[in-house]
Amino acid sequence: MITVPVRLGDGRDYDVVVGDGARGQLADVVADRLPRAGRAAVVTQAALADAAWFADVDPGVPFDVHVVPDGEDGKSSATVDMLCRRFAAAGLTRSDVVVAVGGGLVTDLAGFAAAVYHRGTAYVNVATSLLAQVDAAVGGKTGANLPEGKNLVGAFWQPTAVLCDTATLATLPQREWACGRGEMAKYAFLGSGQPDASLLELPVDEQVARCVAIKADVVAADEREGGRRMVLNYGHTLAHALEAASRYDLRHGEAVAVGLVYAALLARRLGRIDDDRVALHRRVVAGFGLDGDLPGGADPATLVEYMGRDKKAHHDLTFVLDGPDGVEPVPGVDPADALATLVAMAADG
């Protein structure tokens, strides 16, 4: 097992445990970190609850299993309300614990429900998808979607612990692997020192641990996205636009892969990086088996409109872009440059 600490101070530090069988540490985590907990609410999805390994999920206290819907349509305020009502019906108190078992959708929903139930109930993430392990389950950003966009309601609410069980990855469909690898690709450009493609060469548990360590450093420095934490949205501005437009058969990580290539091309257009750095972006994305091309039929003008609604924006177009000082937020990007880069990208595709 690899343990990565997340240092927040104020008694809120926690560990992320990465490895084959990490879910087996759940009862010890609850007993050690939450000794007053007398009951747990385990939140998951139907397919995971039916998996053979789910029988090993044991928080060490009596628990109920609460199943949330599949798909982004189920990642809604209505589902959060449903969870909270079920917590109340089960007698869950503020001293008890919510356990999220699943991918990013589950950890986002369960974490948000825990944040608002009794104005804050502890939760533990048992991350079972690659996307959740390298990104969604770590850092305390929870939320749900609105019809107007992804993750527009939510809360910063840190978990008590995160268990990244790499054994559960064996059952992932290929596209779920691609989804996680899209998020993983961005971390090649977020660590200290010059970016490179070395992440591609590591075994999966070390890949996950490196990504978690980079995210932990960023979160510790900027827990509530006041500045530096925005770099974790690298590649996401276009990715969220592609998802919100709802016209493309793309998973989140697949959309991020396209967004990373677009961000590199936009940074080059603005004179922030050179051709070699753009080529590195393409090499990393391709090395993870991902397609960095804009989907066929994409309408650049529509995508620019959606990017203007991104939560990083402050009444302007704000991107996270690579540059001479590394990846950083860049406000006030001219919409003409954003559009021209998309048009050129579409033509190249």
Catalytic residue among 75, 229, 268, 281: 229
Indicate the burial class of 257 (C-beta count within 10 angstroms; 0-12, 13-18, 19 or more): buried
Catalytic residue among 223, 225, 243, 254: 225
**Is-catalytic flag, 311?**
no
| Structure-block tokens of residue 109 | 């929903």
Catalytic residue among 125, 186, 223, 233: 233
Residue 196: CB partners within 8 Å, gap ≥ 6? 188, 280
**Is-catalytic flag, 243?**
no
**Is-catalytic flag, 314?**
no
| Structure-block tokens of residue 161 | 């612990």
Instruction: Report yes or no: 23 and 56 within 8 Å, Cβ to Cβ.
Output: yes
Catalytic residue among 183, 223, 243, 254: 183
Neighbours of 296 (CB within 10 A): 8
**Is-catalytic flag, 315?**
no
Catalytic residue among 150, 186, 210, 236: 236
**Is-catalytic flag, 252?**
yes
**Is-catalytic flag, 118?**
no
Catalytic residue among 150, 181, 215, 311: 215
Catalytic residue among 23, 66, 75, 141: 141
Instruction: Report yes or no: 2 and 205 within 8 Å, Cβ to Cβ.
Output: yes
Residue 145 and residue 41: Cα distance in Å, rounded?
22
Catalytic residue among 23, 75, 150, 252: 252
**Is-catalytic flag, 181?**
no
Give the three-class secondary structure for 213. Answer: helix
- State the catalytic residues: 119, 141, 183, 215, 225, 229, 233, 236, 240, 252
